[in-house]
Amino acid sequence: MNKVAITNFGNTKFSHDDISIESCLLSSTKALFEQNSNLSKNDIDAVLVATNENKKYLSPILSELSGIKPKISHTVENLCSSGTNAIVSAYSYIASGLANVALVVGAERFDSPGQILEWDNSRGEYKHPIFWASIFTKSYKRRFGITDEDLAIVSVKNHKNAKDNPNAYSNKTYTIEDVLNSRKLTDEIKILDCSRPCTGSSAILLASEDYVKKITDTPVWIAGIGQKTESASFTKSNSFTDMASTKEAARSAFENSKLQPKNVNVAEIHDAFSVCEPMILEDLGFVNKGGGLEYSKNLYNTDNRKINPRGGLIGAGHPLSATGVAQTIEITQQLQGKAGKRQILDANIGLVHNMAAAATSSTVLLLRS
Amino acid sequence: MNKVAITNFGNTKFSHDDISIESCLLSSTKALFEQNSNLSKNDIDAVLVATNENKKYLSPILSELSGIKPKISHTVENLCSSGTNAIVSAYSYIASGLANVALVVGAERFDSPGQILEWDNSRGEYKHPIFWASIFTKSYKRRFGITDEDLAIVSVKNHKNAKDNPNAYSNKTYTIEDVLNSRKLTDEIKILDCSRPCTGSSAILLASEDYVKKITDTPVWIAGIGQKTESASFTKSNSFTDMASTKEAARSAFENSKLQPKNVNVAEIHDAFSVCEPMILEDLGFVNKGGGLEYSKNLYNTDNRKINPRGGLIGAGHPLSATGVAQTIEITQQLQGKAGKRQILDANIGLVHNMAAAATSSTVLLLRS
């Protein structure tokens, strides 16, 4: 089976821009090609678009706009996980030998139709994601005796990290008090506990081992993949303080990479809401159950950017299908030693955690330089 | 690399039913599981939904409704090619070792948003597929001195074949005169020259060699895959009497299977409109350029069902994303010797040709018993 590496990427600044999804897709694709003059458009075998937009045939459209005539082209959609699902699919095309080089472009507009969970009848009229986040928050606080003040550290830390991410939606920083005093959306959730849906696009190139040598000296290898779908409905989950799909995706990724949580130097994880960060840290195995917030607080106090160095979703913004690709780009840059002010020293193993719809499905990638 | 086979399938009758896409997806999935008692839902590693519907997260929804908790789940969209694109993706998950067993379910409603090519600005206001079909028809007739009467054989033959397909939208047969006298939609196209968008769902199961033995004695192997995207816009094509993407997809599939057109015993090809069948027969290499209609006429006159035995799109109906899966099921049944009245004698090599948006992209699969 072919080994697969990430060789190139292109990013855009996350914003509230009212631009077409086609322009959005094209902007990060252009940035990717401008990054590497060794790369020829004729080499691209697959173009996978990740988006929740309702428009059709976007991969052939992006291909035509970019001057690419791939073999394989289509759109991948799985709500917030679309970007990493498309990366895993691109991996499989290359590992199976159907492609040598695959381009994955995730893009979303601020008004994406993927933001409201129309289908989740298990929650009655409470279809907006803030409602599942409220249930998680209430349950987590009760189980572990956590206060709103404890939770606020996630937003404070991730906004601070995002300040050094030139592509972040905003570069404002906040205090614990700012978070606590920000607009209340539900009994449990304040606006600074939320990631912000926005416009953005991120592009990444994956290639087979043979091809990698021709285009880069600093490939980042995909060392482990774990994915799990538990359900579609939030209330099918057994517990509101654990993410079963994340646990299983992590178990699988660590097993097939022969790595362990202690080997991971840097990680981007899906902090759609404050409470998600501690839950994910626990379910990935970085810390025992109930210890997630203490872990995040220690990182903040020691100015350690190990978790969500680009600011996570809360700090960087959350253009749904671009998020998984942007997370993977951040870890790629970290493992290449090219993350600028955000750089973690001596990082050679990184993790990406992405999920959709209240963690009813999750993806974990392990990357290695 | 793992060998991959088709082991099971589930079909629904194509109709004009006004049912939800979720129910539509579920019906063929249920039929698939009812077909094989050796099959356990716990074995399914991937669930790929192919559809043009605007609803999101349909693969986890289908999984939950069906009692499956897969690793991999998402929707694949590439207009009319969605079904075969999802099959090729499922192949790659298995060939790469990420999955042992993958379920692909294509479904569409009669009012699918994939029917109008909103994005193709190259054709001004003429966004409905009948307009590209009219340009193809006019060009093809002029270049090869073809008459409307010559073209009508495609609809007559494929409706006749569909009469023995219990899942076809209609089981009416027509004469050449019926086709010529049917309602005129454009200068070149009459309603009986068109495939009918409809509601339908088709499910197929792919498995690795190790797993195949556990669940079936009659696997059908995927022997060759070719895919090509030339453009998104119709007018980027170089010629209106050739399908460049079909030629390249066929070249690639024959090359990687070490087969030739003369080895193919039975084929389902994408006759969205009458003119498509001769063009595709020529571009697949079954007959020289300009000889496609004579080829179809000879089949009709000798009661030979080699091309489009289930009736093709014109005979069976065209629920966009279900079509590619339904085509693949027909060829699977033929190679298993289980196609009933439609059976081609001694068929052991079969071909599936699917395409999207005026053949701006194409997929060719070669299957072998």
Nearest to B69 among A70, A229, A356 (CB): A229
CA-based nearest residue to B112, from B132, B87, B83? B83
Contact between B350 and B232 under an 8 Å Cβ cutoff? The reply is: no
Beta carbons within 8 Å of A303's beta carbon, 6+ residues apart: none
Contact between B266 and B260 under an 8 Å Cβ cutoff? The reply is: no
Residue whose token pair is 């023995």:
B164
Residues of A in contact with B356 (CB under 8 A): 57, 60
Beta bridge partner(s), residue B318: B197
Residue whose token pair is 């005796």:
A145
Residue A121 banded pLDDT, cuts 50, 70, 90? confident
Judged by CB atoms closer than 8 Å, whether chains meet at A92 and B98 is answered as yes
Return the pLDDT at A125: 76
- In this complex, is the C-beta atom of A56 within 8 Å of any C-beta atom belonging to chain B? yes
Judged by CB atoms within 8 Å, which residues 6-45 of B form the interface with A?
22
Q: Give the up-direction half-sphere exposure of residue A111: CA atoms within 13 A in the CB hemisphere.
A: 6
Nearest to B232 among A64, A117, A230 (CB): A64
Burial, A88: exposed, middle or buried (Cβ in 10 Å; 0-12, 13-18, 19+)?
buried
DSSP string, B180-230: HHSPBSSSS-BGGGBPPB-BEEEEEEEEEHHHHHHH-SS-EEEEEEEEEE-
Q: How many CB atoms lie within 10 A of CB A145?
A: 8
Judged by CB atoms within 8 Å, which residues 251-290 of A form the interface with B?
252
Task: Kindly state the greatest CA–CA separation across chain B.
Answer: 57
C-alpha pair distances (Å), A16 with each of A13, A54, A272, A283, B120:
10, 19, 18, 32, 27
Q: Which two three-digit tokens encode residue B276?
A: 């498509």
Nearest residue of A to residue B96, measured between CA atoms:
A96
Report the pLDDT averaged over residues A166-195: 96
Beta bridge partner(s), residue A273: A194
Report the alpha-carbon distance of residue B180 to residue B200 in Å, rounded: 28
Return the pLDDT at B1: 59
Which amino acid would we find at residue B334? Q
Judged by CB atoms closer than 8 Å, whether chains meet at B232 and A52 is answered as no
Judged by CB atoms closer than 8 Å, whether chains meet at B64 and A227 is answered as no
Q: Which two three-digit tokens encode residue B138?
A: 């006019």
Residues of A in contact with B88 (CB under 8 A): 72, 98
Which of A4, A23, A57, A225 should be substituted to probe chain B, the one whose Cβ sees the most B Cβ atoms within 10 Å? A57
Nearest to A69 among B78, B98, B230 (CB): B230
Return the pLDDT at B125: 75
pTM of the model: 0.98
- In this complex, is the C-beta atom of A140 within 8 Å of any C-beta atom belonging to chain B? no
Report the alpha-carbon distance of residue B231 to residue A61 in Å, rounded: 7
Contact between B313 and B327 under an 8 Å Cβ cutoff? The reply is: no
Judged by CB atoms within 8 Å, which residues 151-210 of A form the interface with B?
none
- In this complex, is the C-beta atom of A71 within 8 Å of any C-beta atom belonging to chain B? yes
Q: Give the up-direction half-sphere exposure of residue A178: CA atoms within 13 A in the CB hemisphere.
A: 11
Q: In degrees, to the nearest 5, what angle opens at C-alpha A211 toward C-alphas A209 and A214?
A: 120
Nearest to B92 among A98, A113, A236 (CB): A98
Residues of A in contact with B22 (CB under 8 A): 119
Per-residue pLDDT tens digits for B227-261? 999 999 987 776 899 999 999 999 999 999 999 99
What is the ipTM for the molecules in this complex? 0.97
Strands, E assignment, chain B: 4-11, 46-50, 72-77, 101-108, 200-208, 220-229, 266-268, 349-356, 361-368
Residues of A in contact with B85 (CB under 8 A): 72-74
Nearest to A57 among B89, B230, B357 (CB): B357
* Torsion from C-alpha of A113, A118, A119, A124, nearest 10 degrees: 160
Contact between A274 and A137 under an 8 Å Cβ cutoff? The reply is: yes
- In this complex, is the C-beta atom of B327 within 8 Å of any C-beta atom belonging to chain A? no
Angstroms from B104 CA to nearest CA on chain A: 14
Per-residue pLDDT tens digits for A288-346? 999 999 999 999 999 999 999 999 999 999 999 999 999 999 999 999 999 999 999 99
Q: How far is CA A64 from the centre of its chain?
A: 27
- Each residue's pLDDT tens digit in chain B (369 positions)? 579 999 999 999 999 999 999 999 999 999 999 988 889 999 999 999 999 999 999 999 999 999 999 999 999 999 999 999 999 999 999 999 999 999 999 999 999 999 877 777 777 777 889 999 999 999 999 999 999 999 999 999 999 999 999 999 989 999 999 999 999 999 999 999 999 999 999 999 999 999 999 999 999 999 999 999 999 998 777 689 999 999 999 999 999 999 999 999 999 999 999 999 999 999 999 999 999 999 999 999 999 999 999 999 999 999 999 999 999 999 999 999 999 999 999 999 999 999 999 999 999 999 999
Angstroms from B59 CA to nearest CA on chain A: 8
Report the alpha-carbon distance of residue A155 to residue A152 in Å, rounded: 6
Which domains, ranges and CATH numbers included, belong to chain B? 4-114+198-221 (3.40.47.10), 117-195+223-368 (3.40.47.10)
Nearest residue of A to residue B58, measured between CA atoms:
A78
Q: Which two three-digit tokens encode residue A10?
A: 């292109």
